[in-house]
């Protein structure tokens, strides 16, 4: 492979979109996965407008990370076209509305588990061989809400996801791929606005700057 290849699951907005833009600005090719076609198309327009010499490009993959068959087919396509990956970033997440544990909506709870936990467990075995072939690394994003009041569905499912990522990191510490877990600074995203309406968003860090800091640290 002559060009670095990244897979971003959850790339249509927020930190995922910012990571895709930053990587393309650095010459990478990014396979951008998200359910929202419009969000992916807007991402593509922003990347094309960069107009930077040597800028990278995108492959848009509008699909749900909980669809095992679709994700398996995508991973096979990545293997056939590029051989492997240098980076997998996984910001995809379902954020259930804030609610007391005694009033959890069962559909939101099941979707939280399906997206944040089950999908992660299904994707790791699919993507691990691609990262090994490409001498790549995986990147997860912690948001330690577990145990906070009203964050039951999101906090519990996100904590389970990160626990799985930590186990994967420990298992592969000597053999690779390297698995990194970072805790991003608070960002003015739509999700955070649901949690903290009326917050001073000017005091938060733009996803673009968070993404740049993460990639520089890699």
pLDDT of residue 53: 65
Ordered domains of the chain (ranges, CATH): 5-217 (3.40.50.720)
Distance CA 82, CA 3 (A): 9
pLDDT beyond 70 at 212: yes
Percent of the chain residues topping a pLDDT of 70: 98
Under DSSP, is residue 195 helix (H, G, I), strand (E, B) or coil? helix
Determine contact, residues 138/129, Cβ cutoff 8 Å: no
Q: How far is CA 8 from CA 76, 86, 89, 146, in A?
A: 16, 11, 5, 25
pLDDT tens digits, one per residue of 125-180 = 999 999 999 999 999 999 998 899 999 999 999 999 999 999 999 999 999 999 99
Range 14-37 average pLDDT: 96
Give per-residue burial for 162-179: e unless 16+ CB within 10 Å, then b.
Answer: bebbeebbeebeeeebeb
pLDDT of residue 54: 67
pLDDT of residue 105: 94
Q: What's the distance, CA 143 to chain centroid? A: 13
Lowest mean pLDDT among 51-55, 61-65, 69-73, 213-217: 51-55
pLDDT beyond 90 at 1: no
Residue whose tokens read 């359910």: 35
Residues in a beta bridge with 59: 31
Confidence at 191, pLDDT banded by 50, 70, 90? confident
Give the pairing type, strands 178-182 and 137-141.
parallel
Distance CA 218, CA 207 (A): 17
Count CB-CB contacts under 10 A for residue 108. 16
Range 60-66 average pLDDT: 98
pLDDT of residue 195: 87
Range 195-210 average pLDDT: 92
Distance CA 124, CA 119 (A): 9
Distance CA 166, CA 83 (A): 26
Residue whose tokens read 């740049």: 212
């Amino acid at each position: 492979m002559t060009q670095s290849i990244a897979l971003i699951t959850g790339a249509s907005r927020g930190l995922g979109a910012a990571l895709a833009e930053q990587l393309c600005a650095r010459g990478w090719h990014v396979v951008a996965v998200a359910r929202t076609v419009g969000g992916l198309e807007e991402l593509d327009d922003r990347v094309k407008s960069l107009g930077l010499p040597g800028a990278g490009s995108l492959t848009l993959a509008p699909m749900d990370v909980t669809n095992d068959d679709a994700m398996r087919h995508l991973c096979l396509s990545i293997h056939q076209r590029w051989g492997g990956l240098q980076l997998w970033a996984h910001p995809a997440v379902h954020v259930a509305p804030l609610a007391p544990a005694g009033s959890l909506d069962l559909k939101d709870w099941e979707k939280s588990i399906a997206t944040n936990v089950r999908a992660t467990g299904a994707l790791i075995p699919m993507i691990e061989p691609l990262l090994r072939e490409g001498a790549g690394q995986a990147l997860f994003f912690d948001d330690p809400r577990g145990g906070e009041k009203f964050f039951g569905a999101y906090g519990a499912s996100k904590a389970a996801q990160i626990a799985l990522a930590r186990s994967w990191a420990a298992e592969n510490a000597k053999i690779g791929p390297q698995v990194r877990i970072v805790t991003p600074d608070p960002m003015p995203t739509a999700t955070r606005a649901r949690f903290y309406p009326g917050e001073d968003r000017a005091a938060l860090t733009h996803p673009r700057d968070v993404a740049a800091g993460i990639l520089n640290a890699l």
